[in-house]
Amino acid sequence: MKTLQDFDFKDKKALVRVDFNVPLDDHFKVTDATRIEAAKPTIDAILKQGGSVILMSHLGRPKGKEAKYSLEHIVAKASEVLGVTVKFVADSRGEVAQKAAADLKPGEVLLLENLRFYGEEEAGDTAYAKELASLGDIYVNDAFGTAHRAHASTTIIAQFFPEHKAFGLLLAKEIESLDKVLKSSAKPVTAVLGGSKVSSKITVIENILDKVDHLIIGGGMTFTFIKAQGGKIGDSICEDDKQELALEILALAKQKNVQIHLPVDVIAADNFSNDAATQVVDVTKIPDGWQGLDAGPKSLEQFKKIILESKTILWNGPLGVFEMENFAKGTIALGNFIAEATEKGAFSLVGGGDSVAAVKQFGLEEKMSYVSTGGGAMLEMLEGKTLPGIAAILD
């Protein structure tokens, strides 16, 4: 696996694919610079060696060239975070881009315009990838969030750098952290899978059953499993067509000696609202007209015991509707249990949009071993898939 350490960047132009797909407010100001901060160590390392950096990224899902999706909006924030004046060129191909790249001096950073202004980016067009490749000497992929896409700048471009391509520090750390969970020798290994649908996590569950000792299932997924086993779930969310599958997963886990833990009680509400009337009920006896929206106190006690005894922990998906304050307690408690286990020496990896949002919202980010930057990419790795962006560097 080639990383930055394998190259000398002095007087070289590094073409770095980053994920600067950051949220902007109505005035086009960056509201969360986490992704820019995450790329800083890679950019710093190249500049420190006397190289220059050409940054490539996408922003949003533009239909052609749309001003609101211009990366020009993030230049000020990127300059502030990186501590260097980021130059900007309003294109990613053609003479303007070629000249801006050619004029770049050691220690300087240039940001190309949104790659998705061209349909060729998402189409994985070879000619476009070749044009991008001509701008730099060494290709560095540091965009885990897009590593599962075979786009021109994340995958196709690598073929034009047969000997001069590397993983950035962020992408290398992502791979290393996931490997730590999936190939961990520090047992017991516990995976916590939450969220609303079994269907979105089926392949993850099937792939990780060989790697974990405990699997805690929470969130809306719970009720498909409970109903499949004959429990009454009231008006709780349920994928009726996945009940058979839920039973198969339980049987497979038993066969592999993996202990599956479902909530035993839930906070039920009489409607889907923060102001709803609530009661704590047995997860198998939810009354009609009521729905489970968070894990109950007995469930949390059981989960706490398992997590504090774990040496490796993967957390993907919340235990309840944490966006509503009255149904966030289970997710917050789980985060605190994982933080406590981490403090005692366990390795904890948090990934997937909702879990990441939760740890940030509740101030737990610094208490986890690693918080992944890629939702879809991480899920695909957990499913056992080889991501095209990663394969292209290893090739």
Domain ranges, ordered by start, for the chain: 4-171, 184-382
Q: Under CATH, what is the fold of the domain 184-382? A: Rossmann fold (3.40.50)
Each residue of 166-193: pLDDT tens digit? 999 999 999 999 888 888 778 999 999 9
- Residue 390: pLDDT over 70: yes
- pLDDT confidence of residue 27: 95
**What's the rounded mean pLDDT across residues 337-364?**
92
The answer to whether the CB of 318 falls within 8 A of the CB of 293 is: no
- pLDDT confidence of residue 183: 86
**What's the rounded mean pLDDT across residues 140-161?**
95
17 is in an annotated binding site: no
355 is in an annotated binding site: yes
How far apart CA 166 and CA 179 sit, in angstroms, is: 18
- Residue 380: pLDDT over 90: no
Same fold, 4-171 and 184-382: yes
Give SS3 for 55. Answer: strand
Terminal-residue alpha carbon distance, the chain: 10
How far apart CA 379 and CA 382 sit, in angstroms, is: 5
- Residue 162: pLDDT over 90: yes
- Residue 388: pLDDT over 90: yes
353 is in an annotated binding site: yes
60 is in an annotated binding site: yes
Q: pTM for the complete prediction?
A: 0.86
**Mean pLDDT for the chain overall:** 95
234 is in an annotated binding site: no
How far apart CA 62 and CA 115 sit, in angstroms, is: 10
Q: Hey, what are 214's tokens? A: 């405990």
CATH number listed for the domain at residues 4-171: 3.40.50.1260
Q: Which amino acid is at 300?
A: L
The residues assigned a catalytic role are: 35, 197, 353, 376
- Residue 274: pLDDT over 70: yes
- pLDDT confidence of residue 351: 87
Q: Hey, what are 98's tokens? A: 């070629």
The number of CA neighbours under 13 Å toward the Cβ of 169 is: 11
The answer to whether the CB of 187 falls within 8 A of the CB of 313 is: no
351 is in an annotated binding site: no
Kindly list the distances between the CA atom of residue 139 and the CA atoms of 15, 153, 202, in Å, as whole numbers in the listed order: 5, 10, 35
- pLDDT confidence of residue 353: 65
How far apart CA 38 and CA 143 sit, in angstroms, is: 10
- Residue 89: pLDDT over 90: yes
Kindly list the distances between the CA atom of residue 104 and the CA atoms of 89, 101, 159, in Å, as whole numbers in the listed order: 11, 5, 24
- Residue 375: pLDDT over 80: no
8 is in an annotated binding site: no
